[in-house]
């Protein structure tokens, strides 16, 4: 832990700076490095292949999968249309069971609430199970910076290794899929203060020993929520390592940080979502551990935290309600869209420069943070639609990307050269005569550029094509000319 600390700070800051500066070039620069990294490519291939194959197998074996997908979409649609009412219902249910509820407008509210709570409790160690909502607001860094003496320990194995390495997750479900065994061994050896063998069992056993100490001495446990149920106030978490159980049952205080979109109206709704989540994310029928936590420990109950705090975090989400982007809130963070995305396959998650990567990251990052911080992301897609096809809730991610591109144009954020080019394109294409003249002019202009049947590498904007691919020339005669001559 201690040895990892300085490195963590430095790398975290670099990452943030890059994330903030990410224009079109930001993604491309990071993607270029990622594409050249063969080890990264192998790691991504291994993970996504396994996930996609597993997902296809379990979904093929579930004949009602298309119907579940449709139902999941409808439930989320209904939830968002009545989100205020359902949030109120959930808050009432949690409070009725003796829990505390806090509505957080943004990350700062969450940090203050947890930091102050920790101070009141005299807490030193906080254990955490995996939570993208807390990654989104950089909760660990901010708590440790603002509240001296507080140690936050991630307990999901992948998240813990990422934390020790000063790294950020590169996948919603597989946070360190970008690391190979060699790198993981390095990180854990540094933490152990001795050389550990590059052996999964030995490393796992070291992690287990070290994490047990933290589990047993933690003062507060923080989890996210895979789902929150309005009618009962239940928080559902799904894990494969069982760490969420230790985080929520050993320390006396349990804090849940839940994005407000994680709500479902009824307990029965989980029969739809839980069946879809593990199948879509990891290719399992069910994760190893599925926990339902309804309020703090009640009289006569044997386990559970004595105190429960439910933080319902907005952080930009409610702005999307009732807009053409509302469907982005239907996401259940299964990661299926990342696994099938041909762009993600080439770049991995860090190229996106955001907590959320892949197609859903390219959609929600600009929506939650604004285009200025993620101008490039809506363009990091070939619009192939594999994400939409894989999404267990049926979010039309490719259409949301298109709408975001349009929003950039409408708000005057599009690249000026591009704007001029498309104005010219529009003006040519609406006039057949101009189209014909332009194509003839193009044929004349390309003559000196032809070489072995291709257009030779060009300078300027077209070099982006010709640097890596041959460009076919315009044909001697267009189809319309051939048609006129008679086919």
Partner 1 sequence: MRVALFVPCYVDLINPEVGVSVVRVLRRLGVDVIYPEGQTCCGQPTFNSGFFDEARTIGRRFLEVFEKERFDYIVCPSGSCTTMVSHYYPFVFKDLPEERERSEVLAGRVREFSDFLVNVMGVRDLGARLEGKAVFHCGCHQRRELGVLEEPRGLLSNVGGLDLLDWENEELCCGFGGTFAVKMPDVSTAMADEKIKALEKSGADTLISGDSSCLMHLGGRLRRTGHDTRILHLAQVLDDGKAG
Binding site for partner 1 (CB under 8 A): 24, 27-28, 31-32, 35, 342-343, 345-347, 378-386, 388-389, 399, 402, 404-409, 414, 418-419, 422-423, 425-426, 428-432, 435, 439, 442, 454, 461-462, 464-465, 467-475, 477-483, 487
Nearer to partner 1, 66 or 442 (CB): 442
The token pair that represents 255 in the structure block: 């804090």
- Smallest distance from partner 1 to CB 128, Å: 33
The token pair that represents 114 in the structure block: 């947890």
DSSP 432-484: HHHHHHHHHHHHHHHGGGEETTEEPP-SGGGHHHHTTS-BPPPPSS-HHHHHH
- Smallest distance from partner 1 to CB 440, Å: 10
Nearer to partner 1, 459 or 468 (CB): 468
Query: 375, 344, 346, 345: which is closest to 360 by C-alpha?
Result: 344
What residues have CB less than 8 Å from 303, skipping those under 6 apart? 249, 297
Q: Tell me if 396 sits within 8 A of 388, measured CB to CB.
A: yes
- Which helix (H) or strand (E) segment holds residue 294: the answer is strand 289-294
- Smallest distance from partner 1 to CB 441, Å: 12
- Smallest distance from partner 1 to CB 129, Å: 33
Query: 61, 447, 75, 455: which is closest to 283 by C-alpha?
Result: 61
CA distances from 232 to 89, 90, 269 (A): 8, 7, 12
The token pair that represents 87 in the structure block: 């949030």
- Smallest distance from partner 1 to CB 326, Å: 15
End-to-end CA distance of the chain: 76
Q: Residue 150: how many CB atoms within 10 A of its CB? A: 20
In angstroms and rounded to an integer, the radius of gyration of the C-alpha atoms of the chain is: 25
126: left (phi over 0), alpha (psi -120 to 50) or beta: beta
Angstrom distance (rounded) from CA 93 to CA 97: 7
Nearer to partner 1, 39 or 465 (CB): 465
- Smallest distance from partner 1 to CB 437, Å: 12
Nearer to partner 1, 7 or 474 (CB): 474
Nearer to partner 1, 450 or 464 (CB): 464
Nearer to partner 1, 17 or 49 (CB): 49
- Smallest distance from partner 1 to CB 130, Å: 28
Nearer to partner 1, 210 or 371 (CB): 371
Query: What is the 8-class DSSP label of residue 297?
Result: P
Angstrom distance (rounded) from CA 162 to CA 8: 9
- Smallest distance from partner 1 to CB 25, Å: 11
Q: Tell me if 426 sits within 8 A of 393, measured CB to CB.
A: no
Nearer to partner 1, 182 or 425 (CB): 425
Q: Tell me if 72 sits within 8 A of 331, measured CB to CB.
A: no
- Smallest distance from partner 1 to CB 44, Å: 11
Nearer to partner 1, 292 or 435 (CB): 435
Nearer to partner 1, 189 or 466 (CB): 466
What 3-state class would DSSP assign to 333? coil
Q: Tell me if 41 sits within 8 A of 346, measured CB to CB.
A: yes
- Smallest distance from partner 1 to CB 79, Å: 24
């Amino acid at each position: 832990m201690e040895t990892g600390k300085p490195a963590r700070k430095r790398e975290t800051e670099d990452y943030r700076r890059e994330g903030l500066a990410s224009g079109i070039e930001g993604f491309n620069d990071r993607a270029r490095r990622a594409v050249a990294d063969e080890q990264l490519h192998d790691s991504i291939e291994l993970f996504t292949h396994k996930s996609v194959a597993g997902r296809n197998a379990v979904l093929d074996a579930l004949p009602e999968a298309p119907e579940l997908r449709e139902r999941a979409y409808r439930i989320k649609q209904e939830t968002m249309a009545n989100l205020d009412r359902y949030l109120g219902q959930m808050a009432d249910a949690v409070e009725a069971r003796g829990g505390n509820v806090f509505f957080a407008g943004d990350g700062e509210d969450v940090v203050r609430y947890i930091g102050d709570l920790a101070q009141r409790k005299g807490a030193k160690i906080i254990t955490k199970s995996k939570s993208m909502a807390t990654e989104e607001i950089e909760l660990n860094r901010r708590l440790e910076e603002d509240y001296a003496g507080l140690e936050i320990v991630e307990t999901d194995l992948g998240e813990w290794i990422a934390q020790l390495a000063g790294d950020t997750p590169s996948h919603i479900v597989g946070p360190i899929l970008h690391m190979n065994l060699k790198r993981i061994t390095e990180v854990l050896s540094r933490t152990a203060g001795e050389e550990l063998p590059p052996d999964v069992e030995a490393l796992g056993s070291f992690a287990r020993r070290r994490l047990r100490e933290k589990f047993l001495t933690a003062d507060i446990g923080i989890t996210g929520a895979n789902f929150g149920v309005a009618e009962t106030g239940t928080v559902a978490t799904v894990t494969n390592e069982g760490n969420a159980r230790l985080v929520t049952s050993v320390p006396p205080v349990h804090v849940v940080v839940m994005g407000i979109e994680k709500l479902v109206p009824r307990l029965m709704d989980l029969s739809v979502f839980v069946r879809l989540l593990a199948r879509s994310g990891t290719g399992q029928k069910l994760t190893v551990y599925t926990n339902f936590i309804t309020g703090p420990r009640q009289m006569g109950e044997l386990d559970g935290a004595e105190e429960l705090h439910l933080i319902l975090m907005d952080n930009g989400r409610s702005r999307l309600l009732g807009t053409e982007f509302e469907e982005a809130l239907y996401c259940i963070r299964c990661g299926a869209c990342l696994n099938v995305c041909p762009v993600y396959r080439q770049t991995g998650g860090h190229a996106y420069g955001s907590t959320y990567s892949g197609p859903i990251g390219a959609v929600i990052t600009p929506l939650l943070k604004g285009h200025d911080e993620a101008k490039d992301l809506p363009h990091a897609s070939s619009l192939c639609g594999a994400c939409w096809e894989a999404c267990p809730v049926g979010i039309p991610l490719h259409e949301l990307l298109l709408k975001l591109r349009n929003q950039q144009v409408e708000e005057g954020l599009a690249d000026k050269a591009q704007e001029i080019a498309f104005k010219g394109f529009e003006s040519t294409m609406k006039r057949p005569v101009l189209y014909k003249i332009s194509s003839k002019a193009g044929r004349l202009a390309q003559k000196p550029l032809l070489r072995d049947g291709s257009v030779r590498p060009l300078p300027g904007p077209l070099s982006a094509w010709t640097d890596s691919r041959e460009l076919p020339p315009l044909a001697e005669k267009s189809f319309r000319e051939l048609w006129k001559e008679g086919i």
